Amino acid sequence: MRNLYSPTNVKEIFKKYKFNYKKKLGQNFLIDKNINEKIIESASISEDDIVLEIGPGLGNLTQLLCESAKKVISIEIDKDFKKIHDDLLNYDNLEIIYDDFMDIDLRKILNPYDKEKIKVVANLPYYITTPIIMKLLEEKYPVDKIVVMIQKEVAQRFASSPGGKDYGAITLTINYYTEAHYAFTVPPSVFIPQPKVSSAVVVFDVLDKPKYKVYSEEILFKVIKGAFAKRRKTFVNSLSSTFPEFEKEIIVETLKHFGLNKAIRGEKLSLEEYVKISNYLMERIH
C-alpha cells in the first residue's frame, strides 16, 4: 500500500520515529507528488527495468519506482530509516541496502541483473553529487540511463562549454560517456527541510560506446584531470607535471600540430581536442 507523504505526514513520521534529519547527509525530502512523478516519467521506467536508487530517505520516490519497475535496489547510508522503511514500505520488489554508496561493491550487487536494463534514479545527496556520478560512469557499471536530481548550478556545470567558468573534468567525463540533457528545474519550496538552492533533474543516456576512439582511456582521463588540477597553469605546464616523463617540447609540438597555442589553458580545450592530444602523445612515445 502506498504511503506518499505530505508535509504534515513527514512531521508526524519524524515525531513518531524520533527521527532527526541530518543536514550533513544532504537530507532534504521531496514531498511533491507531481515532481516525483515527473522524475519517473523522465526516466521512462517500465516493468522491465531494474532500478538502482541512491538515498531513498523517507521513500516517496522509492514507492513510485516500486510501482513502475520490475525491481528496485535502494542504497541508504542512514540506518535510522530502517524502522520507518520496515513499517511503511511494503513492496516485494524492493531491496534496501544500508551502506555508503561510495563504499559498496556495485558490480556484485548488479551482477545478477547484467542481462537486464538497469537505470539509476535518485534524488541525490548534494554533498557527493560529483563522486557518485564519477563512480557510476568511470567504473563502467552496466547502466543504461541515469536520472538524478541535483543542485541546479551543478547541472549547469555538467552542460557547460569549453572556456566557461563551470567547465571542468566532470563535464568532459559526462560528455565522453553520455548524452546528457537538462530535464527541468525544481524550486526549494517542495522539500522538507528546504535547501538554500534550486535543484534540477538531469537525464544521462549512457552511450553503448564512448563518443571517441581513444588510445587509452586511462591516459585520456589522466591528461584531463592533470589539466584541471591547477587551473592557473598552462596546459603545457600542467601536463608536464602530470607526466614528468614527457619532454615539454613534445607537448608544445603536439599543440602546434593541432593548431593550438602553447599558452592555452586546459579549460579552453574541447573533449575532441583532449582525445586528439592524448592519442597523438601516446603514439609518439610508444
108 CB-contact burial (10 Å; exposed 0-12 / middle 13-18 / buried 19+) = exposed
Phi (first) and psi of residue 203, to 5 degrees: -110, 125
Of 10-18, 51-59, 230-238, 261-269: span binding ligand SAM (CB under 6 A): 51-59
- 125 near ligand SAM, judged by CB under 6 A: yes
Judged by beta carbon, residue 25 or residue 282, the one nearer ligand SAM is 25
The 212-251 site mask, x for binding ligand SAM (CB under 6 A), equals ----------------------------------------
Closest distance of CB 128 from ligand SAM, Å: 6
CA distances in angstroms from 259 to 101, 129, 255, 269, listed in the order given: 43, 36, 6, 12
Site residue total, ligand SAM (CB under 6 A): 23
Our measurement of the distance from residue 23's CA atom to the centroid of its chain's CA atoms, rounded to an integer in Å, reads 20
Closest distance of CB 101 from ligand SAM, Å: 4
- 30 near ligand SAM, judged by CB under 6 A: yes
- 273 near ligand SAM, judged by CB under 6 A: no
Judged by beta carbon, residue 194 or residue 241, the one nearer ligand SAM is 194
Judged by beta carbon, residue 75 or residue 202, the one nearer ligand SAM is 75
Dihedral (C-alpha) 120, 202, 150, 135: value to the nearest 10 degrees?
A: 50
Judged by beta carbon, residue 27 or residue 278, the one nearer ligand SAM is 27
The binding site for ligand SAM (CB under 6 A) comprises 25-30, 54-58, 60-61, 75-78, 100-102, 123, 125, 128
